[in-house]
Structure 1
Amino acid sequence: MHQLLGTSKLSDVVEASVGNLVDADLAKESAKLQALQVKQQLGVQALSIANQAPQAIMSLFR
């Protein structure tokens, strides 16, 4: 009976540990995704600014 109780506790610990690893991986991947989304937004803004600059210069000659 004592060994069965120990196995049950071990199983609980292993299950909790796996859950913690999954949670940690999800948090890490979520942070990576957020960083990539910010980079993408900055790239879009940079292209927008770059595309506006020639138009502004050309408007000076009109």
Structure 2
Amino acid sequence: FHHIAYEVDNLNESLNKIAEQDIRLIDKEGRKGAEGLNIGFLHPKSTKGVLTELCENPNKK
């Protein structure tokens, strides 16, 4: 597999909480991804080699 993805309710809040735990981020803020999702990646050097994506659906309430 290339990467694993998790859906979160608030992407930027999640990225900030992860950064506070000294986990390296590829994206410090969310950006537009496929299918209109907001996405952000954690650096694989901080996640035992696994490229990890966080996704937020801005249309989900």
TM-score, with length taken from structure 1: 0.21
**If each structure's strand is expressed as a fraction of its own residues, which one has the higher value?**
2
TM-score, with length taken from structure 2: 0.21
**If each structure's helix is expressed as a fraction of its own residues, which one has the higher value?**
1
Q: Which of structures 1 and 2 has the larger relative contact order (alpha carbons within 8 angstroms, sep 6+)? A: 2
